[in-house]
Structure 1
């Protein structure tokens, strides 16, 4: 069991010791002492989907068994095309394209670049 005092991680808040996350299930994180916390952060990638969801785990495993990554500058993929089709079905007006990004910063950077004409479609 890792002791917090042995951590070399530089945390955002240095005024207190951080519990050590050991596992997660649904919307809860459990620390190494068995205490549960409601995980309301929702900030990291897919954490909004919950921890340990069997459907998500199965989909991730199936995809990584097929291919883990193909750069979108050179390739598309069936999951990307399916997601784009789904999003377009719910898009307003005459929107007929989507840009898939891994996070907010990347999406904003792409939107600014496109709006300035730095990237063309």
Structure 2
């Protein structure tokens, strides 16, 4: 148990304690920045934690534990509409329309396990792609 809570799945108590320090420090720093009107600083590898960051506990936690995926969608929107308005002392109008939207995954990748060089490569995820 850590702080009255169970450690996240896959983390032992000692590792869970270390994992908790990075995000807590980052949140504290973000709150201090926000209180003084400064923007929050996001770790450089937050969106693609593909390399270790031993000097930054939070960034390294992202490298070790983050689940990251990139999806490319093809969005299609087809539609039509018709409107009419009549004025014979009283104005009357109507609109009629239809729209269909679809979003199809064209490319999908996820951040894989660390390789021999320590980097986490993006791996194709063809199961998500519609052909």
Query: Shared fold (TM-score greater than 0.5)?
Result: no
* Higher RCO (C-alpha under 8 Å, 6+ residues apart): 2
Which structure has greater strand proportion?
Answer: 2
Which structure has greater helix proportion?
Answer: 1
Larger Rg: 2
What is the TM-score of this pair, normalised by structure 1? 0.26
What is the TM-score of this pair, normalised by structure 2? 0.24
